[in-house]
Amino acid sequence: MSASSLSSKDNPLVRTIRLVMEEARRAPAHLVLAEGVRALEEATEAGCDFEAILIEEGFGSDPRQQALLDAWSARGAPVRFAKRRLMRELSGVVSPQGALALVRMRSLTLAQAPETVVPLILCLCGLQDPGNLGTLLRTARAVGVSLVCSMSGTVSARNSKAIRASAGAFFRIPIVEKLTPAEFCRFCRDRRIVMFQANARGRQLCWEADLAGPAAILLGSEARGFTESDWQDAVSVRIPMSAGVESLNVAAAGAVLMFEALRQRAGRAFQGVRP
């Protein structure tokens, strides 16, 4: 661990952190920014490679922080100290936890996506809010989603706000981004994966849909929904709601559908039925 403390905004590492945080065109494409103890724990436990770790003076005062320092030391991770003032300026939260890192994360393609016996895929189509996307990743991790895909025009899961909202789940789930609907439909068709499109006016209730088999849950833009011509092969499903309620927040709707898939799959497993 370097003994010197960074204090200058013009330090090359600090400039790189800012570029990645702002998703600037000049930002290195292989780097993402993780901030906070939870996200850094997930990245560390997932075995991710660190480009650089920046901590403020005094970090390590509680057991969780010390456990991270011990893990980084054992791996020879590049840790640097920084002045508290600089860390506050770099942080994207109101109450910083005194640690952030540049993590090396390669982009995946559909051809590189892991194969699973009964896949459950989350497909995001045009979402713009990184907080919603990060929350969906966190739920996907809890449910056991095997793959997350997003269409071009969707906010990137590599966005620092999305990573923070995911509580580090970003580092635990395979993610393929910038797809076209045609590419994703072909991928599902070739693998006999049924696509289920969340739609407030869908004819089929979500618990009537067979989400226990190979399935992809499609969530549309918070404001515009889906371009129907792109998803003609998808089964339209709805979540029942009280009269007068138009729709759910996309992160809430995604959670309902993903946990319904988990419920159905757990039921079949309990009955000894292979999906």
Percent of the residues in the chain that have a pLDDT greater than 90, as a whole number: 82
CATH superfamily membership of 110-270: SPOUT methyltransferase, trefoil knot domain (3.40.1280.10)
What's the rounded mean pLDDT across residues 93-108?
Answer: 93
**DSSP sequence for 70-101:** HHHHHHT--EEEE-HHHHHHH-SSSS--SEEE
Across all residues in the chain, what is the average pLDDT? 92
CA-atom Rg of the chain in angstroms: 20
Q: Could you tell me which residues come within 8 angstroms of residue 272 by beta carbon, excluding any fewer than 6 positions away?
A: none
Domain locations in the chain as residue ranges = 5-104, 110-270
The pLDDT assigned to 4 comes to 63
The pLDDT assigned to 94 comes to 85
| Helical (H) or strand (E) element with 51 | strand 49-56
Architecture of domain 5-104: 2-Layer Sandwich (3.30)
- Write down the pTM of the prediction: 0.91
What does each C-alpha distance from 134 to 103, 158, 254 come to in angstroms? 17, 10, 12
Is there a contact between 20 and 33 (Cβ–Cβ < 8 Å)? Answer: yes
* pLDDT tens string 12-68: 999 999 999 999 999 999 999 999 999 999 999 999 999 999 999 889 999 999 999
